[in-house]
Amino acid sequence: MATISLPYNWNPRPYQVPLWNFLEGGGKRAVACWHRRAGKDEVMLNWTAVAAMQRPGTYWTLLPEASQARKAIWDAVDPHTGKRRIDQAFPRSIREREHDGEMKISFKNGSVWQVVGSDNYHSLVGTPPCGLTFSEFSRAVPESWGYLAPIVTENKGWAVFISTPLGNNHFKRMLDDARTNSKWFAEVLPAQTSGAIPKDALDESLREYIALYGETAGRALFAQEYECSFASVIPGAYYTAELTTAEREDRIGQVDVATDMPVHTAWDLGMDDATAIWCWQMQPGRLHLVDYYENSQRGAQHYCDWLNERGYHGVDWVPHDARVRDWGTERTRLEVLRSLGRNPRLVPNHTVIDGINAARITLGSAHFDAARCQRGIECLRSYCAEWDEQLRTFRKTPLHNWVSHGSDAFRYCAMSWREPIASEDDLTPLQRLHQEINRPRTYNDFWGQYVQEQIHAGVDPDEFNLEME
CATH for 337 = 3.30.420.280
Q: Is the peptide bond before 7 cis (omega within 30 degrees of 0)?
A: yes
Tens digit of pLDDT for each residue in 57-66?
Answer: 999 999 998 8
- Taking the C-alpha atoms of residue 198 and residue 201, their distance in angstroms, rounded to an integer, is 5
Domain annotation covers residue 98: yes
Bridging pattern class, strands 344-346 and 129-135: unpaired
Domain annotation covers residue 64: yes
Of residues 367 and 469, the one with the higher pLDDT is 367
Q: What was the pLDDT predicted at 442?
A: 46
Kindly list the distances between the CA atom of residue 45 and the CA atoms of 7, 48, 85, 214, in Å, as whole numbers in the listed order: 9, 5, 8, 35
Q: What was the pLDDT predicted at 115?
A: 94
The chain-wide mean pLDDT, for the chain, equals 87
Q: What was the pLDDT predicted at 440?
A: 44
Of residues 436 and 406, the one with the higher pLDDT is 406
Q: Are 232 and 166 in contact (CB under 8 A)?
A: no
Closest CA to 383 of 193, 209, 237: 237
Domain annotation covers residue 350: yes
Report the pLDDT averaged over residues 69-81. Answer: 87
Binned at pLDDT 50, 70 and 90, residue 119 comes out as confident
Binned at pLDDT 50, 70 and 90, residue 215 comes out as confident
Asked if residue 60 and residue 18 are part of one domain, the reply reads: yes
Tens digit of pLDDT for each residue in 387-426?
Answer: 887 777 888 899 988 899 999 999 999 999 988 654 444 4
Q: What percent of the chain has pLDDT over 90?
A: 64
Q: What was the pLDDT predicted at 439?
A: 47
Asked if residue 322 and residue 309 are part of one domain, the reply reads: yes
Binned at pLDDT 50, 70 and 90, residue 279 comes out as very high
Report the pLDDT averaged over residues 285-305. Answer: 92
Q: In what order do the strands lie in the sheet with 286-296?
A: 252-253, 367-369, 286-296, 274-283, 264-268, 316-318, 344-346
Tens digit of pLDDT for each residue in 20-45?
Answer: 999 999 999 999 999 999 999 999 99
Binned at pLDDT 50, 70 and 90, residue 435 comes out as very low
Kindly list the distances between the CA atom of residue 356 and the CA atoms of 73, 192, 242, 363, 445, in Å, as whole numbers in the listed order: 35, 38, 12, 10, 21
Asked if residue 402 and residue 338 are part of one domain, the reply reads: yes
- Taking the C-alpha atoms of residue 197 and residue 37, their distance in angstroms, rounded to an integer, is 8
Tens digit of pLDDT for each residue in 234-256?
Answer: 778 899 889 989 999 999 999 99
Domain annotation covers residue 1: no
Report the pLDDT averaged over residues 315-322. Answer: 90
Q: What was the pLDDT predicted at 464?
A: 46
Of residues 430 and 145, the one with the higher pLDDT is 145
Domain annotation covers residue 115: yes
Binned at pLDDT 50, 70 and 90, residue 231 comes out as confident
Q: Is the pLDDT of residue 437 over 50?
A: no
Asked if residue 159 and residue 24 are part of one domain, the reply reads: yes
Report the pLDDT averaged over residues 260-278. Answer: 88
Asked if residue 256 and residue 131 are part of one domain, the reply reads: no
Asked if residue 221 and residue 82 are part of one domain, the reply reads: no
Domain annotation covers residue 3: no
Report the pLDDT averaged over residues 114-119. Answer: 90
Domain containing residue 409? 247-438
Asked if residue 372 and residue 264 are part of one domain, the reply reads: yes
Q: Is the pLDDT of residue 289 over 50?
A: yes
Q: What was the pLDDT predicted at 288?
A: 97
Asked if residue 24 and residue 172 are part of one domain, the reply reads: yes
Q: Is the pLDDT of residue 429 over 80?
A: no
Distance of CA 298 to the CA centre of its chain: 19
Domain annotation covers residue 352: yes
Q: What was the pLDDT predicted at 284?
A: 76
- Indicate the number of domains in the chain: 4
Asked if residue 255 and residue 230 are part of one domain, the reply reads: no
Domain annotation covers residue 241: no
Asked if residue 280 and residue 183 are part of one domain, the reply reads: no
Of residues 119 and 173, the one with the higher pLDDT is 173
Dmax of the chain from CA atoms?
102
Q: What was the pLDDT predicted at 204?
A: 96
Q: Is the pLDDT of residue 203 over 60?
A: yes
Closest CA to 60 of 147, 139, 126: 126
Q: What was the pLDDT predicted at 118?
A: 87
For the entire predicted model, the pTM comes to 0.74
Asked if residue 406 and residue 296 are part of one domain, the reply reads: yes
Asked if residue 40 and residue 166 are part of one domain, the reply reads: yes
